[in-house]
Amino acid sequence: MVGMDTAHLLVRVLDLVGAFVFAISGAMLGSRQGMDLFGVLVLAFVTAVFGGIVRDLLIGAIPPAAIASWHYLAVAMAAGLLTFWFHERLDRLRHPVLFFDAVGLGIFAVVGTQKALDAALNWPMAAVLGMISGVGGGMIRDVLAARTPVVLRSDIYAVAALAAGLVVVAGFYLELPESLVTLAGAATCVFLRMTAIYWNWRLPSVKPPE
C-alpha cells in the first residue's frame, strides 16, 4: 500500500517535472518568434499539456487531468515566466535542457501508456497513446508556430517514447511491480534519446532533409 502510494506520488511529481520542461521548450520557441508575454505563456501551457489532454479525451478521462487541477497551469506559467525573463541564459543550457526534455518525454510516455492500459485499451494502441502523450505537446507547439513539427522530420524522438510505452506494456502483461516498470520505461526512453543525440542517429527518409 505504502509502495503503491509512493509510486503514484513519484509519478505525479515526475509528471509535473515533465510538464515544466515541456513548458520551457514551448516558451523558448515563442520567445524566439517574437510572441508577446501572453503568447509565450500560452505556448508554454499548450506544449506542457496538449499530449496528455488528447490522450485523456481519447480514453474518456474527462475532464482531462491537466484541466481538472490547476497544478499544470501553475507549473506552465512558472516555466513560461522564467523562460521569458531568462531566455538568453537558457539558450546556453542546451545540453541540460535536452536531457530534461528526454526525461519529460519518458515520463509522459510511461504515464500515458499506463493510463491507456488502465482504461482497458488494447496494447498496441496503449503504446501509441503513450507516445502521443509524449510527443503531442511538441507537435502542437510547432503547428502554432506555423512550422512542420520537428518530431516528424528529426532524430529518434518519438521512437524513444514508443519504446518506453512498449516496456510498460511488457511489464503490465508480466505483472511486474508498477514502480519498477515506470523507472525501466522512462530510463529506456532517456537512454535511447541521449544515445541518438550523441551518435546523431536518424531514421531513414526518402530524401535527405535540407
Q: Which of 7, 16, 17, 33 binds a second copy (CB under 8 A)?
A: 33
**Closest distance between a second copy and the C-beta of residue 80, in Å?**
12
Q: Which of residues 91-130 bind a second copy (CB under 8 A)?
A: 119, 121-122, 124-125, 128-129
Contacts 24+ apart (CB under 8 A), 24-27: 24/79, 24/82, 24/83, 24/90, 24/97, 25/97, 25/101, 25/138, 25/141, 26/80, 26/137, 26/141, 27/79, 27/80, 27/82, 27/83, 27/84, 27/87
Under rule CB under 8 A, residue 203 binds a second copy: yes
**Closest distance between a second copy and the C-beta of residue 6, in Å?**
26
Instruction: Of 51, 181, 178, give the one whose Cα is nearest residue 104.
Output: 51
Which residues have CB under 8 Å from 114's CB, separation 6+?
11, 130, 168, 172, 178, 182
Q: Which of 107, 110, 139, 164 binds a second copy (CB under 8 A)?
A: 139
Under rule CB under 8 A, residue 165 binds a second copy: no
Name the segment binding a second copy (CB under 8 A); options: 30-38, 92-100, 168-176, 180-188. 30-38
**Closest distance between a second copy and the C-beta of residue 170, in Å?**
16
Instruction: Of 38, 41, 68, give the one whose Cα is nearest residue 52.
Output: 68
**Site residues for a second copy per CB under 8 A:** 30-40, 42-43, 53, 57-60, 62-64, 67-70, 73-74, 84, 87, 119, 121-122, 124-125, 128-129, 139, 143-149, 151-154, 158-159, 202-210
